Amino acid sequence: MITKYTCGKPIATEAVTVSFPSNDISGFPFENSLNDGKFTFAFKMEPKDIVYGLGESPRGINKRGWVYESYCSDDPFHTETKQSLYAAHNFILLSGSRQFGIFIDFPARVSWDIGYTIQDVSEITIDGADFDIYVISADKPLEIIREFRKAIGKSYIPPKWAFGYQQSRWSYHNAEAVDAVIDGYNNADIPLDCVYLDIDYMDSYKDFTINDKAFPNFDEYVKEKQAQGIHLIPIIDAGVKKEDGYCVYEEGKANGFFCKKADGENFEAGVWPGVCCFPDFLNADVRRWFGEKYKTLTDLGIDGFWNDMNEPALFYSVEGIEKALDKAADLKGKNLDLSGFFNLKDTFMGLSNAQEDYARIYHNINGEAVNHQRVHNLYGANMTKAAGEYFEREFGKGKILMFSRASYIGAHRSSGIWFGDNHSWWSHILLNLKMLPAANMCGFLYCGADLGGFNENSTRDLVLRFLALGVFTPLMRNHSALGTRDQEGYRFENPEDFRDIIQVRYRLIPYLYDTFVRAAENDGLIFRPLSLDYPDDPIARECETQLMLGDECMIAPVYEQNVSGRTVYLPEDMLFVKLSGERVDKYPLSKGLHYIEVALNEVPLFIKKGKQVPLCRPATRTRDIDREKLEYISNI
Ligand code: GLC
């Protein structure tokens, strides 16, 4: 059962697609107060209660013991001490002594103190007095999640080929570099379906343009790659370069489609191309206009995109950088002492994503000027909606691959997400794992992290272990940052180990795709914490390094360096399977703790009693997968 409570006049977010009668907030069943325009409520937690949720966010599956913030942030350091990442997924689920789900439909800041200030109290603060809160109750936690998912509408299903292996890098600067990647994979006989085009495919980082020196005859090139079974996936950024004569800028300016400042002038801030204007995605006319722009690329045969920098990320505002440069000029020739130096440094460090800049932005929502701070978390979601609405109108559902960095619940209907700029750190394998069930709870099924790690140099063993988890994530993409060590599978010694891992993915695609579609159609989860399936098992309840996958399996990746395996907990007897290329080794294991050995070229998988998992023949492209020729790994 879902009960909706309304306070004030909420801004429509379109997160919820079912209409529920509104109850006055005075009937809200948790202790609460409204002070200084902020609404706070609290609930007590028993020692064994688990709090799940918050989608893409830092730390554990169990969110207890930290304070989180729903505030879409462009922050490439996903350390334990962070409170937000790129998304605002305002759903939590308490399970234990009692159970309930809460969804806060509010597009500005929400702070979730889940036992941070007082260990057994959750205190949630909504930074405003205009919102809807949905309280969801059912007999079992999984039913609560299903009720919630039913309310927010069906999840996006991408094209089948989007389950193939994908290679990205910032950047493959020209067609030769892209070809070298495809050749590298072909020569090493490693499967591949997509190569990504990061910002350098554009002319001067201008959306919907092509750098035709780097990619001459781009349309023919796209078709040539398609003939080879390779999809090219270009990036689209939120900021539109301010440049006279550039059609996207000129049209946006002429139609008043960019975000404004209080004085009615366009808000301007620096991103990759220098000074940019920002399409006002919260306005339906702007969405339609911007969405149609993707046609420039779909007309050339492009059938997948990733939307980026849409929190929105601002390197600096025009006002901010002028102030900082003036300050630096004033200080020229002066002796900078401790406070003088750090003050100057902080001025420059504080230029990016500054709160005072977000506060300068105004949106036109149905004719009303709305300050950005009130709707911050909707910006990226609405950029993606602009694209998603166009793709659906033009091509029908699920024909175009689309995923975004920033998101709000609701965007899950038109796109997937990736988890942004992680690091080549061993700890980020587990961070990736922990976000999967939480993202699923919020409707985001097509998701994944930058495998191998985005920032900093990776190592061969880290890429292999990351990929062995990525075998199971719907988005299986290896991506890394400018200036970092090459981490494509064929770059390292013994590339056959990479083939062994990625081939397993292709053999599992029929199973993974069906599991995905089933979850999307039934409002279910692909990935579940063990505690949801084995609520009475104390070890399963605390397990943060393994996940249940579909109805059949459990996964437990190796997540440490220089180890030959890991300890795994089996909540029931299972068949332990090591998959490597065409090899399938099976070991029946009984309930309990086991140390399992897993080589770098092996993918560990556990199959429940009474279940079986289909494997197709190896393929190097998804289009070559033969769904008719299946063998089964059976634990029946
Ligand atoms: C952002 C994205 C990253 C991309 C880079 C350059 O940092 O998160 O994936 O490679 O921008 O476009």
**DSSP letters for 442-502:** TT--SEE-EET-SBS---HHHHHHHHHHHTTSSSEEE---TTSPP--GGGSS-THHHHHHH
Residue 326 region, left (φ>0) first, then alpha (ψ -120 to 50), else beta? alpha
- The answer, yes or no, to whether the previous bond of 312 is cis (omega within 30 of 0) is yes
Reduce the DSSP state of residue 613 to 3 states and report it. strand
Distances, alpha carbon 513 to alpha carbons 16, 121, 200, 388, in Å? 26, 40, 32, 21
Residue 552 CA to ligand 1 centre (angstroms): 35
Other residues' Cβ atoms within 10 Å of the Cβ of residue 120: 12
> How confident is the model over 423-473, as pLDDT tens digits?
999 999 999 999 999 999 999 999 999 999 999 999 999 999 999 999 999
Contact at 8 Å (CB) between 293 and 250? no
Which of 170, 423, 451 to probe ligand 1 with, by most ligand atoms within 8 A of CB?
170
Q: Is 344 exposed, middle or buried (0-12, 13-18, 19+ CB in 10 A)?
A: middle
For the entire predicted model, the pTM comes to 0.98
Residue 270 CA to ligand 1 centre (angstroms): 15
- Residues with Cβ < 8 Å from 242, sequence gap 6 or more? 249, 266, 268, 274, 275, 276, 277
Contact at 8 Å (CB) between 363 and 375? yes
Tokens found for residue 14: 């379109």
Tokens found for residue 23: 């109850």
Q: What is the mean pLDDT of residues 86-94?
A: 98
In sequence order, the β-bridge partners of residue 103 are 91, 134
Instruction: List the helix and strand counts (H, then E) for the chain.
Output: 15, 38
Going by their DSSP bridges, the two strands 407-408 and 87-88 should be labelled as: parallel
Instruction: Give the CA dihedral 172, 316, 372, 114, nearest 10 degrees.
Output: 80
Q: What is the mean pLDDT of residues 564-588?
A: 98
CA–CA gap between residue 406 and residue 384 (Å, rounded)? 9
Q: What is the mean pLDDT of residues 545-550?
A: 98
Contact at 8 Å (CB) between 584 and 577? yes
Please give the DSSP secondary-structure letter assigned to residue 419. Answer: -
Other residues' Cβ atoms within 10 Å of the Cβ of residue 29: 12
Residue 48 CA to ligand 1 centre (angstroms): 40
Q: pLDDT grade, residue 188 (50/70/90)?
A: very high
Instruction: Give, in degrees to the nearest 5, the angle at Cα 193 between 203 and 507.
Output: 160
Q: What is the mean pLDDT of residues 65-73?
A: 98
Looking at the CA of residue 454, tell me the nearest atom of ligand 1: 9
Using CA positions, which residue lies closest to atom 7 of ligand 1? 421
Contact at 8 Å (CB) between 590 and 564? no
Looking at the CA of residue 170, tell me the nearest atom of ligand 1: 10
Using CA positions, which residue lies closest to atom 5 of ligand 1? 170
Reduce the DSSP state of residue 510 to 3 states and report it. helix
Q: What is the mean pLDDT of residues 169-174?
A: 97
For ligand 1, residues with CB inside 6 Å are 170, 198-199, 235, 308, 405, 420-421, 479
Using CA positions, which residue lies closest to atom 10 of ligand 1? 170
Q: What is the mean pLDDT of residues 339-359?
A: 96
Residue 162 CA to ligand 1 centre (angstroms): 19
Contact at 8 Å (CB) between 371 and 359? yes
Which of 173, 421, 478, 480 to probe ligand 1 with, by most ligand atoms within 8 A of CB?
421
Q: What is the pLDDT of residue 222?
A: 98
Instruction: Give, in degrees to the nearest 5, the angle at Cα 377 between 374 and 379.
Output: 95
Looking at the CA of residue 420, tell me the nearest atom of ligand 1: 8
Q: What is the pLDDT of residue 532?
A: 98
Q: What is the pLDDT of residue 634?
A: 98
Tokens found for residue 441: 């709870």
CA–CA gap between residue 538 and residue 540 (Å, rounded)? 6
Looking at the CA of residue 405, tell me the nearest atom of ligand 1: 8
> How confident is the model over 279-288, as pLDDT tens digits?
999 999 999 9
Q: pLDDT grade, residue 231 (50/70/90)?
A: very high
Looking at the CA of residue 168, tell me the nearest atom of ligand 1: 10
CA–CA gap between residue 17 and residue 150 (Å, rounded)? 9
Residue 170 CA to ligand 1 centre (angstroms): 7
Q: What is the pLDDT of residue 317?
A: 94
Q: pLDDT grade, residue 385 (50/70/90)?
A: very high
Residue 294 CA to ligand 1 centre (angstroms): 19
Q: What is the mean pLDDT of residues 124-130?
A: 98
Residue 184 CA to ligand 1 centre (angstroms): 23
For the chain, give the mean pLDDT: 98
Q: pLDDT grade, residue 35 (50/70/90)?
A: very high
Residue 420 CA to ligand 1 centre (angstroms): 8
Q: What is the mean pLDDT of residues 514-537?
A: 98
Q: What is the pLDDT of residue 631?
A: 98
CA–CA gap between residue 306 and residue 296 (Å, rounded)? 15
Residue 452 CA to ligand 1 centre (angstroms): 15
Q: pLDDT grade, residue 48 (50/70/90)?
A: very high
Q: pLDDT grade, residue 21 (50/70/90)?
A: very high
Looking at the CA of residue 198, tell me the nearest atom of ligand 1: 12
Q: pLDDT grade, residue 18 (50/70/90)?
A: very high
Residue 450 CA to ligand 1 centre (angstroms): 10
CA–CA gap between residue 193 and residue 167 (Å, rounded)? 8
Looking at the CA of residue 199, tell me the nearest atom of ligand 1: 12
For the chain, the 3-state helix, strand and coil shares in percent, each to the nearest 5, are 30, 25, 45
